[in-house]
Structure 1
């Protein structure tokens, strides 16, 4: 993926990279030497985006219309500018964070700046990888909280001191420094280390132990539907359409929506977006994710986490289910003879 980031087009296109013939290191070096200004620009942009995103994790002043009103997700449609009062608030935040830096340096020296070094290193790695914002900010946005909290505590201490509260000085004790020798190492420590290594490796172990699922061929899936009363010829005729397919996977998050209902957030999953008809919306996952809609005015009990076979028509990034098979129970939204081209996404 990093390989595709060092190009003018086709970013995140993993098909550009051939592990047998291509080298990520050589691609990064050659592209950087050929286009130093372009590379410096996107590294700087993503670096600053990570830092600004971390700072803006601190709360801003925004309207609250009450508990009964829709949530105002102002950051989803933010145009990048701040109101004057929020600009003042940001300056206050920066001042408090600066105090936090100073106190951390005064009390702990270089040790107090380790979180800052981690933050800057991570932000730089984001820039080099050409990623930033949203979930990519989460590993380091706590650094802003950390120094902000230190600065805020120091301000509270100053205010308390002004009102006559005596500050408690830390009890300074001398510590004896001694060298660590191998004689002090105990064999049982090895078992503790191995235990942590085993816990950390469980995802890879589970992947190796677990058998692959949802690997049935199209003919196998058709045979299963045929055993549940469907006509093979009708199924094959339905699947002969260019935008028709058969899916096997696990059904997740079924929800029933009436006409004009749905999730009205800025970027909902396509299956749950507002539509002009009643439907059951859900996801089907195997090695991929499918946003599926089952048009119906009735509320059916689509079991969460059940394994299903779905015959569907694809319209853009939504799959309109014609048949949903739960093994011993079938649900059908329309005859298989109806053409997929009759579907409209409204």
Structure 2
């Protein structure tokens, strides 16, 4: 509609947005506030499209040419009706039924999307944990992790976003998530999205060998006011098998969740 009626002027906002997004992509600017300057353009064309669809719907139900003055093509000319409008036609009733059906189906659609990290999967991971960590940890380390879990330690599954390794004193003081703030010890930190949405901190002496962004992880530790204080992290590969295990360093035998 914008092109048919206004030609190049009609698609000028669209071309401007492509140029804006293209420049930001080339210089690798982050999204957010840089996209905000042009996000109204999508709403503009969406509104134009919905207006055109509304005109087509009116034409269909009236079974007549819509008044051309609405779209600015011809001067207004009164329309004479040879018969009264019929609202309860078969087409109208069918359309209304479909609209109601679609509206009622929205809550059902939410149930069709499977939960990615259900509690049953967490139980399965915890049951498999002793066998998985036995091959990479010492018996003392395994006992510390197992005892912590049995004593009521917290465990959550989720996806690790933006994993980072910071040395002592390093960090990102301007970050939205306090897990990335500078701290007086080296650590692995990331943001967990899943059974619990939280920043995660694991004191660790060296950079992890394997920790891709977006990996599924099992975290074991204690929720703190500003981040999740971690005892152990198990990182899974894309096949769902454990790939790496990272323990708190130095490992505290009496590590506990103190209220």
Normalising by structure 1, we get a TM-score of 0.39
Higher strand share: 2
Higher helix share: 1
